[in-house]
Amino acid sequence: MALWMPVILRAQAFALLALLLLPVGTARAGRVVEGVVRAVYDGDSVLLTTRERTRLKVRLYGIDAPETKKRTKPGQPYGDVAKRTLMNKIQGRPVSVEVIAIDQYQRSVAVIRYSGRDINREMVEEGMAWAYRQYLHGAYASEYIGSEARARSLRAGLWRDANPRPPWEFRNGKKQHGAHSRH
């Protein structure tokens, strides 16, 4: 074997390792990406395969769905229902994703549209998620907060419970309070 062969093999191994470590892409804020939903992780996050064949983890903008059960953590009431609802809406379907921001976990935070429908808003309107007021801005704020108010008044989804616990309190381990009009 020639002396230069190990150098080439190391370079090829490095290039292969680099490709393996970069399978999940990120999108820039303000960009619209089209692709197919390949996985639904829970009621507010999915995996998208883009037209360019990159994988994009997407967190639905402006909503917070009940937590699903994890290996070491319990879930919340309606967590599995919210996940199934989102699956039924978009799993395996072509969608467009309007990227609003990139979060601390390098997920694209986005509004997902399927056949022109705002899926994020639908999840709130059907009582499968809260309007996530802490992160809502502009026109989406009034739309999603209005959708939540309608879901509450109709006692849709999670609003069937007298006092559902918001996911942000559940994640932080806070004790349940009275009415949640402060969020």
What are 8's two structure tokens?
A: 């080439």
What are 27's two structure tokens?
A: 């999108």
CATH of domain 24-171: 2.40.50.90
Condensed to tens digits (0 to 9), the pLDDT of residues 59-97 reads 999 999 999 998 988 999 999 999 999 999 999 999 999
Indicate the DSSP class of residue 134. G
Query: Would you say 48 and 38 are in contact if contact means Cβ atoms under 8 Å apart?
Result: yes
Report the 10 Å Cβ neighbour count for 81: 18
Q: What is the pLDDT of residue 30?
A: 80
Domain boundary assignment for the chain = 24-171
What are the φ/ψ torsions at residue 108 (nearest 5 degrees)?
A: -80, 120
125: three-class secondary structure by DSSP: helix
Condensed to tens digits (0 to 9), the pLDDT of residues 97-134 reads 999 999 999 999 999 999 999 999 999 999 999 999 99
Which residues are catalytic, by number?
59, 67, 107
Query: Would you say 40 and 100 are in contact if contact means Cβ atoms under 8 Å apart?
Result: no
Residues 6+ apart with CB under 8 A from 114: 89, 90, 93, 94, 95
Q: What is the pLDDT of residue 35?
A: 98
Indicate the DSSP class of residue 73. S
Condensed to tens digits (0 to 9), the pLDDT of residues 17-73 reads 333 333 445 566 689 999 999 999 999 999 999 999 999 999 999 999 999 998 988
CA distance linking residue 150 with residue 42, whole number of Å: 23
Query: Would you say 109 and 99 are in contact if contact means Cβ atoms under 8 Å apart?
Result: yes
